[in-house]
């Protein structure tokens, strides 16, 4: 099922392993997929370190799922989230999921959901999230990048307007270059940008927001190894070197 066809999305939040500062930009991204009708946060909200979540659940229409620490060293949150996700899967109530966590324990859950053809967006901190979880997701989006992007946008009138290049490295250039080679190209070597982005997304958890950009065209403009052209309403891209 294509992302644009999604009608009913569930956002499940591991409050123990993510920050409430990211909820606003995460919901903005999720809204691009479809209607986020199910929003649940899991954790022991009696703990002081989760008090911020308790303060925002009503504001964002998030249903808190209290999970007491029944046994030291055991995480009831992971189990509750997994059970709810599988219940929703078999009830056929959702078309896709957002999993907000940096915990690799959710990798088997994400893999299982995707085996049934559901789109799963992962939201976590890139520096804390293991590669296995990021690779399992349809897309993995760095919460820290989303928070920074939202902050930069709010401060835009004060800024110089320069485009950032956070995280643009040889690995990203090669990923996009490989996708460009795999795409259909015209006689001049240009491929449709949308196709290149789709191929890159299929090969990894690539998402332009992880690099501080809102649009794929902005990212390509910031990479000197590529040239872009606009033809009518379509963007085309070519690798130069």
Give the pair of three-digit tokens for residue 152: 């930069």
Tell me the C-alpha distance between 28 and 8, whole Å.
15
More confident position, 13 or 209: 13
Domain range 3-154, its CATH number among 3.40.50.1010, 1.10.132.50, 3.40.50.620, 3.40.50.1000: 3.40.50.1010
Res 174: pLDDT: 86
Q: Yes or no: is domain 170-239 CATH 3.30.420.610?
A: yes
Measured at the CA of 235, the angle between CA 229 and CA 141, to 5 degrees, comes to 125
Q: pLDDT tens, 128-151?
A: 888 899 989 998 999 988 888 766
How far, in Å, CA of 11 to CA of 95, rounded?
11
Q: Model-level pTM greater than 0.75?
A: no
pLDDT band at 152 (very low <50, low <70, confident <90, very high): low
DSSP string for residues in 158-181: GS--PPP-TT--HHHHHHHHHHHH
> pLDDT (tens digit, 9 = 90+) per residue, 37-60?
899 999 888 888 888 887 888 888
Where along the chain do its domains lie?
3-154, 170-239
């Amino acid at each position: 099922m294509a992302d644009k066809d999604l009608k009913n999305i569930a956002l499940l939040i591991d409050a123990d392993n993510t920050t409430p500062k990211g909820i606003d930009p995460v919901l903005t991204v999720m809204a691009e997929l479809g209607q986020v009708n199910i929003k649940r946060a899991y954790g022991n909200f009696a703990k002081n370190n989760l008090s911020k979540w308790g303060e925002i659940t009503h504001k964002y229409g998030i249903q808190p799922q209290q999970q007491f620490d029944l046994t030291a060293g055991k995480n009831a949150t992971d189990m509750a989230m997994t059970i709810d996700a599988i219940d929703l899967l078999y009830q056929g109530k959702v078309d896709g999921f957002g999993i907000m966590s940096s915990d690799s324990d959710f990798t088997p859950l994400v893999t299982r959901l995707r085996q049934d053809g559901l789109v799963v967006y992962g939201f976590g901190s890139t520096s804390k999230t293991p590669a296995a979880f990021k690779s399992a997701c349809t897309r993995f989006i760095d919460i820290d990048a989303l928070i920074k992007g939202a902050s930069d946008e709010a401060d835009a009138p004060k800024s110089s307007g320069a485009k950032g290049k956070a995280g643009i490295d040889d690995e990203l250039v090669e990923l996009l270059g490989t996708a460009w080679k795999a795409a259909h190209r015209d006689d001049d070597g240009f491929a449709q940008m949308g196709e290149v982005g789709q191929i890159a997304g299929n090969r990894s958890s690539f998402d332009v927001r992880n690099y501080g950009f809102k649009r794929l065209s902005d990212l390509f403009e910031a990479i000197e190894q590529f040239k872009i052209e606009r033809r009518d309403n379509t963007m085309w891209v070519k690798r130069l070197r």
